[in-house]
Amino acid sequence: MIADLLFGIRPGYLITEYEPLRRLAVSITKQRDGDYLWIFRVQDMGKITALLGKVPTFTADDTQVFRAYNPLLSQTVPDKSRKKGEGKFEIIHKAPKLLIIETFENKRTVHVRVPTDNVQMLWEVMKGYPLNKAIQSMTVARNVLEKLGITRFHRPNTQTFDEQKFFGARKDYKGYFYYPAKVLQSQEVIRHDPNGLVERIAEHWSIQMLFEEEEEIVI
């Protein structure tokens, strides 16, 4: 018999609109304080991270257990290059499930967590478009949400994608599309135009390329 390693999250409420997330849950139980405890399998961490738009955090003891179960869950690879200045977008920390980027927003420098699964999902969608062809950003975003099974941005009557509703939900817009697009642009595999167009400019890419160390050249 093979045992599953499980973990739980308490979002503070029942996420009724997250049907894809509910399908991954081993159990959902209401606690005495009114919160809901969602139990998942560790092997589904990637899918759960993509749906939540963030990586769950764990105690030091739990992290040790995860490290023993799968060392990649806690492995980190620091980025060697950092730049300064307004308008910057840099990956300053890398882990298999999470990137931390440094960017400039609202006249200040901010650090943002970007799940690698969201970056990979956007790339999977971009691979479906012809090379060097500009596509509307919202068309790409709609396809990303469709692949994730997220329908809460659909109009109730027609079930069509409501672009304004998605764009207005800034946390979701940035988490599922904007930041992943900027990561891919920094890898020079897509071009994200400020006018609302996105274009694939590379034939091949994989998320593992983010973690490849630069080889030292000896002459």
Residues 108-158 pLDDT 10s: 888 999 999 999 999 999 999 999 999 999 999 999 999 999 999 999 999
In this structure, what token pair is assigned to residue 181? Answer: 């697009």
b/e string for 121-148 if b means 16 or more Cβ within 10 A? bbbebbeebeeeeebebbbbbbbbbeeb
pLDDT score recorded for residue 12? 59
Alpha-carbon dihedral sign for residues 89, 178, 78, 207? negative
Determine contact, residues 13/36, Cβ cutoff 8 Å.
Answer: yes
Cα separation of the two ends of the chain: 55
Dist CA 198 CA 10 (whole Å)? 36
**Length, in residues, of the chain:** 219
Q: Which domains does the chain have, with CATH numbers?
A: 6-73 (3.30.70), 77-211 (no CATH)
How do the pLDDT tens digits run along the chain, 219 residues long?
A: 556 788 888 765 555 556 677 888 898 888 777 778 889 888 787 777 777 666 676 666 666 666 666 555 544 334 444 444 445 788 888 888 899 998 888 778 889 999 999 999 999 999 999 999 999 999 999 999 999 999 999 999 999 999 999 999 999 999 999 999 999 999 999 999 877 899 999 999 998 888 874 433 333
Tell me the pLDDT of the chain averaged across its residues: 80
Determine contact, residues 103/109, Cβ cutoff 8 Å.
Answer: yes
Dist CA 49 CA 9 (whole Å)? 12
Q: What letter represents residue 154's amino acid?
A: H
pTM of the model: 0.64
Dist CA 118 CA 97 (whole Å)? 10
What is Dmax (Cα atoms) for the chain?
Answer: 67
Q: Is 116 left (phi over 0), alpha (psi -120 to 50) or beta?
A: alpha
The rounded percent of the chain whose pLDDT value lies above 70 is 75
Concatenated DSSP letters for 79-106? -S----STT-EEEEEEETTEEEEEEEET
